[in-house]
Amino acid sequence: MTHTDALSGSGIDGSWFLDTTVFARDTPWLNEPMLAYSNFGIAAFAVLIIAGWWIARRADPATMTAALAVPVASVAAYLINDGVKSLVAERRPCFAYPDAFLLEKCPAASDYSFPSNHVVVTAAMAAALFLINRRLGILATVAAAIMGLSRVYVGAHYPHDVAAAVVMGVLVGSATALAMRKYATPLTKKLATGPLRPMLTT
């Protein structure tokens, strides 16, 4: 291993990444479902956001504020994560392992790997959804976990890209939702007495 390799993502958990791609090669029946979920599974969170909003309409203004915080948390997590990606500039594993079994096409060299955008966004939303409803939060957590697994399975990310994204997503998602519930609830309460009442309460 060269000095450069030791500083790259392959020097951290490259063997785990390769083991996962071998598993993907040996499970062809799972390839299409995992690739589809990896690329489009984030759309399922739109359904979870709507479910959270529907539950919050029957609750109090603080819960509704937490529901409104879910999409805000996803955007905040993405923006922070994108800054970290540019700063770290870790190349995708497909550059280190071009001969591995990769289901996702290798992106441009400027599309960095650490941390995973898909995972940080879904983890942030899952964390925020817990403040609305515990069962909804658990469902979102399972969906986010599958997203993380799929991103390694298709060859898009190293395991540490996913792990770091989970930590960042949970921190940003929780902080955003808690801050909005604390400081924006009075605004939600005020808006619920006006034309937006049908959207914010029953």
pLDDT digits (tens, 9 = 90+) for 11-47: 778 889 999 999 999 999 999 999 999 999 989 999 9
Structure confidence by residue, pLDDT tens digits, 115-141: 999 999 999 999 999 989 999 999 999
pLDDT tens column, 73-85: 999 999 999 999 9
Which residue, 169, 166, 194, 185, is CA-closest to 66? 185
Place of tokens 């390799």: 5
- Cβ–Cβ < 8 Å for 161, 13: no
* pLDDT tens column, 159-173: 999 999 999 999 999
pLDDT at 5 over 50: no
Kindly state the tokens that stand for 43.
Answer: 């759309």
The lowest-confidence range among 58-67, 128-137, 154-163, 186-195 is: 186-195
Confidence of residue 8 (pLDDT cuts 50, 70, 90): low
111 vs 93: CA distance, rounded Å: 11
CB 158 within 8 A of CB 137: no
Residue 35: CB atoms within 10 Å: 18
Exposure b/e, 106-133, CB count within 10 A at least 16 = b? eeeeeebbbbbbbbbbbbbbbbbbbbbb
> pTM of this prediction?
0.87
Place of tokens 């997203």: 147
Helices 28-40 and 10-26 sit at what angle, rounded to 10 degrees? 120
Q: Is the pLDDT of residue 1 over 70?
A: no
Nearest to 25 by CA among 97, 105, 93, 100: 100
